[in-house]
Amino acid sequence: MEHDEIRVDRQSLELYCQRIFQQLGVSEENAATASKVLVAADAWGIPSHGTGRLWRYVNGLKSGQILSGAPFDIIAETPSSLVINANGAMGAPVSVKAMEMIIEKAKANGSAFGCVRDSNHFGIAGYYAKMALRENMIGIAMTNTAALGVPTFGRQVMYGTNPLAFAAPADKEEAFVLDMSTTVVTRGKVEVYERLEKELPAGWAVEKTGKPARDARSMLDDMQNRVGGGILPLGGMGKELGGHKGFGLAVMVDILTGVLCGASFGQQVYDTAESSARVSHFFGAIDISRFRDPGDFRRDMDRMLGEIRQSPPAEGEEQVYYAGLPEMERERENDRLGIPLLKKTYDSICGIGREWGIRFSQER
Amino acid sequence: MEHDEIRVDRQSLELYCQRIFQQLGVSEENAATASKVLVAADAWGIPSHGTGRLWRYVNGLKSGQILSGAPFDIIAETPSSLVINANGAMGAPVSVKAMEMIIEKAKANGSAFGCVRDSNHFGIAGYYAKMALRENMIGIAMTNTAALGVPTFGRQVMYGTNPLAFAAPADKEEAFVLDMSTTVVTRGKVEVYERLEKELPAGWAVEKTGKPARDARSMLDDMQNRVGGGILPLGGMGKELGGHKGFGLAVMVDILTGVLCGASFGQQVYDTAESSARVSHFFGAIDISRFRDPGDFRRDMDRMLGEIRQSPPAEGEEQVYYAGLPEMERERENDRLGIPLLKKTYDSICGIGREWGIRFSQER
């Protein structure tokens, strides 16, 4: 643990966030769900999506960019499909609800898929994909996001970080949980380089002419002003390292999230000073028992994942990991020792509650 | 058209390949299907998967590595799922059959998925994904392949090029058809560098210690001898450019193809002198009409894809493309002008038929 981190009790942290969301008009049930998803990111070791974002959610709820009391409407439903309009609500509660409904449908139907439209930031995609595992299912979750990605050979943002998550259960091994943005990096990583005034690595971003960007500040400014420049797809610049593949994956996510339910996609998804981007999500579940005995599946997964984990590391590396293993190991450790928060995150969240006299029980 | 290319009539080329497959004991129907898929690769401008491989299929059928008369067995089936054992047959005919069955299931059920196990090389994954479009469905196709990919931080091959294909229909625009290996490049591209004695680009492959490989020949030899070294996942070396994401995608494909139907996966999938790798495929179809009016979906796809196509190119580039657009444009041109074959491919395929007195009608 780094010495600028403070460990706090998971349930206390969840309860504290919940009380703040409730104070802002979110129902008890939805506030509890939103807090669970937010804190899970810290527990998994993904602080970019954890309580360090609490102030953003609070600001969104205060300004009405996120609507605390919005009911969600089912606008299309069959035994295999679901389309929900979130009407501008918080992303996590409606997403958990959607994934639960899709899992129930997949139990009866074998597989099921659904979209949530007019939603907001839903946290870590892997959380929803992982929900399917307890029912011996494969889980899928995706979301589009505000446009910041530049197509291969292009220079204007046309899509978001558009993460996709895929989870499959194992037996004794930790589950396989892939949760990845389809851009080479997220905006947050570029912002770190901006703060450090470090030159951007080749293959991360282009400036407004479409040439490789080295200065994070000017790239972020140009992107913000929509004059060109942005982050590259997974695979980087051009086609030599497969940038066109990452670009294709990002568009795939935009089709399944935005186009499939008739919501915004591509350039239409962007934050303004007045409003946050209304994003869409896609969820899916596939029942393993329709293909083979789930116990046998889990044992084969153990073998596959064990072989990867035990495969010889490259010189200078310690260990080969599969997707989800570091996160699940960190979650176990953090549940034992407490959820690690950066000092500045700890200070920020303690400050947020003071406005309403809500005190974080772990405050020192 | 390059001057070492010869253009031939598509149907004549299909018929010629079909006659050769029939000569080797493949049924008329299966031979016709296998030829159509093979020639489609040339028509789309993907010669690595086209008739330049005819000799490999012929050698496989002659040696019994591919079983010309193998019947396929349905080993699991529900309204939403299908598992077929190909019993070592050619990959394409059983894959077309499987995808047709899955499309029919998705019509009734909303979505359906299936695996084909104990199969052989099935050609271009995009062919099967694209089949779903005519029924207003989203199509998915994947396959595992002989292991040649090295995990992030590893040095031993643990998975194949593991391509995934995803297709979604548009109206006036060409359909979106993503068909990508999840490794940064395929073996074929490394072999080109070997022949040219060119240094491999950084981020393509590692040598047996897990350090970046620059010499294609020694990397390929070490990989063949299974002493370490191999091709990197999409995103390249380490995590800086997202190599762990490409690795995750490759494992996802291996789970859906190999593990989901109880077949071989990972290191177990490899070619030997005696036998080609028995691979598994995964296919899926999702009915768009369960989510929204397919006509509206297609019109929104037109808008999305048109915006990408018309987005400003980077300095020095001419055009931004979306996945599938170059292939579909090439197919139209090639159907008009004839399928372009490299001179050496043309000579090779003309030679193959002579053994049985089968003459290519386009032979000059």
A260 chain-B contacts, CB cut-off 8 A: 138, 288, 291-292, 297
Higher pLDDT, B364 or B218: B218
**Does any domain span residue A331?**
no
Which residue on chain A is closest to B268 by alpha carbon? A304
E strand segments, A233-351: 279-287, 339-342
A337/B199 Cα distance (integer angstroms): 49
Backbone region of residue A118 per phi and psi (left: phi > 0; alpha: psi in -120 to 50; beta: other values): left
A291 chain-B contacts, CB cut-off 8 A: 76, 81, 83, 115, 260-261
- Are the C-beta atoms of residues A167 and A173 closer than 8 Å to each other? no
Give the pLDDT of residue B202. Answer: 92
- Are the C-beta atoms of residues B216 and B190 closer than 8 Å to each other? yes
Give the pLDDT of residue A3. Answer: 61
Interchain pair A178, B288: CB under 8 A: no
**Does any domain span residue B9?**
no
Query: For residue range B184-243, what is the model confidence (pLDDT) as tens digits?
Result: 999 989 999 999 999 999 999 999 999 999 999 999 999 988 899 999 999 999 999 999
Give the pLDDT of residue B277. Answer: 83
Interchain pair B112, A111: CB under 8 A: yes
**Does any domain span residue B86?**
yes
Tell me the nearest-neighbour CA distance from B37 into chain A, angstroms.
22
B203/B240 Cα distance (integer angstroms): 11
Give the pLDDT of residue B4. Answer: 85
Which residue on chain A is closest to B83 by alpha carbon? A291
Phi and psi torsions of A185, nearest 5°: -145, 170
Structural domain including B256 reads 66-293
Average pLDDT for residues A45-74, to the nearest whole number? Answer: 94
As separate numbers, helices (DSSP H) first and strands (DSSP E) second, chain B gives 11, 11
Q: Which of B29, B54, B60, B56 is nearest to B41 (CA)?
A: B54
B42/B49 Cα distance (integer angstroms): 7
Query: For residue range B144-156, what is the model confidence (pLDDT) as tens digits?
Result: 999 999 999 999 9
Whether B143 has a pLDDT exceeding 90, the answer reads yes
| DSSP β-ladder status, B230-231 and B205-206 | antiparallel
Give the pLDDT of residue B33. Answer: 98
Query: What SS3 state is found at B341?
Result: strand
- Are the C-beta atoms of residues A263 and A117 closer than 8 Å to each other? yes
The share of chain A scoring above pLDDT 70, in percent, equals 98
Query: For residue range B156-175, what is the model confidence (pLDDT) as tens digits?
Result: 999 999 999 999 999 999 99
Q: Which residue has the tokens 């409904």?
A: A101
Residue A63: pLDDT band (50, 70, 90) is: very high
Query: For residue range A68-106, what is the model confidence (pLDDT) as tens digits?
Result: 999 999 999 999 999 999 999 999 999 999 999 999 999
Domain count, chain A: 1
A86/A146 Cα distance (integer angstroms): 17
| Dihedral over Cα of A246, A248, A249, A250: its sign | positive
Give the pLDDT of residue A277. Answer: 83
Tell me the nearest-neighbour CA distance from B283 into chain A, angstroms.
13
Give the pLDDT of residue A276. Answer: 74
**Residues constituting chain B:** 364
Interchain pair A304, B110: CB under 8 A: no
Average pLDDT for residues B136-142, to the nearest whole number? Answer: 98
Residue A224: pLDDT band (50, 70, 90) is: confident
Give the pLDDT of residue B274. Answer: 66
Query: For residue range B37-62, what is the model confidence (pLDDT) as tens digits?
Result: 999 999 999 999 999 999 999 999 99
Whether B327 has a pLDDT exceeding 90, the answer reads yes
Which residue on chain A is closest to B234 by alpha carbon? A235
Which residue on chain A is closest to B140 by alpha carbon? A252
Residue B3: pLDDT band (50, 70, 90) is: low
| Mean pLDDT of all residues belonging to chain A | 95
A122/A60 Cα distance (integer angstroms): 13
- Are the C-beta atoms of residues B96 and B33 closer than 8 Å to each other? yes
| DSSP β-ladder status, B5-8 and A339-342 | unpaired
Phi and psi torsions of B300, nearest 5°: -65, -35
Whether A67 has a pLDDT exceeding 90, the answer reads yes
A97/A105 Cα distance (integer angstroms): 12
As separate numbers, helices (DSSP H) first and strands (DSSP E) second, chain A gives 11, 11
Q: Which of B94, B93, B120, B106 is nearest to B35 (CA)?
A: B93
Residue B137: pLDDT band (50, 70, 90) is: very high
Which residues fall within 8 angstroms of residue A347, CB to CB, at 6 or more apart? none
E strand segments, chain A: 5-8, 73-78, 81-85, 111-119, 137-143, 164-168, 176-180, 205-206, 230-231, 279-287, 339-342
- B304, B310, B321, best to mutate vs chain A, most A CBs in 10 Å: B304
Q: Which of B119, B266, B236 is nearest to A242 (CA)?
A: B236
Interchain pair B313, A154: CB under 8 A: yes
> Rg (Cα) of chain A, in Å, rounded?
20
B259 chain-A contacts, CB cut-off 8 A: 168, 297, 300-301, 304
- As given in the structure block, the two tokens for residue A296 are 């046998």
A243/A233 Cα distance (integer angstroms): 6
Q: Which residues of B204-224 are buried (b: 16+ CB within 10 A; e: fewer)?
A: bbbbbebebbbbbeebbebbe
Phi and psi torsions of A138, nearest 5°: -90, 135
A69/A283 Cα distance (integer angstroms): 23
For residue A227, the one-letter residue type is V
B170/B179 Cα distance (integer angstroms): 17
Interchain pair B315, A211: CB under 8 A: yes
Tell me the nearest-neighbour CA distance from B180 into chain A, angstroms.
6
- Are the C-beta atoms of residues A220 and A246 closer than 8 Å to each other? no
Interchain pair A241, B184: CB under 8 A: yes
- Are the C-beta atoms of residues A259 and A179 closer than 8 Å to each other? no
Interchain pair B315, A262: CB under 8 A: no
Give the pLDDT of residue B83. Answer: 98
**CB–CB contacts below 8 A, A to B:** 286
Interchain pair A312, B265: CB under 8 A: no
B210 chain-A contacts, CB cut-off 8 A: 312-317
**Does any domain span residue A100?**
yes
- Are the C-beta atoms of residues B245 and A322 closer than 8 Å to each other? no
Tell me the nearest-neighbour CA distance from A49 into chain B, angstroms.
18
| Closest CB from B236, B248, B320 relative to A180 | B248
- Are the C-beta atoms of residues A22 and A69 closer than 8 Å to each other? no
**Does any domain span residue A161?**
yes
Interchain pair B291, A211: CB under 8 A: no
Tell me the nearest-neighbour CA distance from B313 into chain A, angstroms.
4
B345/B52 Cα distance (integer angstroms): 5
Give the pLDDT of residue A273. Answer: 67
Higher pLDDT, B361 or B97: B97
Which residues fall within 8 angstroms of residue A227, CB to CB, at 6 or more apart? A208
Tell me the nearest-neighbour CA distance from A3 into chain B, angstroms.
25
Q: From residue B347, how far is each of A181, B30, B39 by CA, in Å?
A: 45, 25, 16
Average pLDDT for residues B22-47, to the nearest whole number? Answer: 97
**Does any domain span residue A136?**
yes
Query: For residue range A136-175, what is the model confidence (pLDDT) as tens digits?
Result: 999 999 999 999 999 999 999 999 999 999 999 999 999 9
Which residue on chain A is closest to B167 by alpha carbon? A252
Phi and psi torsions of A210, nearest 5°: 95, 0
| Mean pLDDT of all residues belonging to chain B | 95
Secondary structure letter of residue B18 according to DSSP = H
- Count of Cβ atoms closer than 10 Å to residue A316 Cβ: 9
**Does any domain span residue B50?**
no
Residue B276: pLDDT band (50, 70, 90) is: confident
CATH code of the domain containing B125: 3.30.1370.60
Give the pLDDT of residue A271. Answer: 80
Q: Which of B274, B275, B255 is nearest to B265 (CA)?
A: B255
Residue B94: pLDDT band (50, 70, 90) is: very high
**Does any domain span residue A27?**
no
Interchain pair A245, B291: CB under 8 A: no
B198 chain-A contacts, CB cut-off 8 A: none
B79 chain-A contacts, CB cut-off 8 A: 109-110
- Count of Cβ atoms closer than 10 Å to residue A219 Cβ: 25
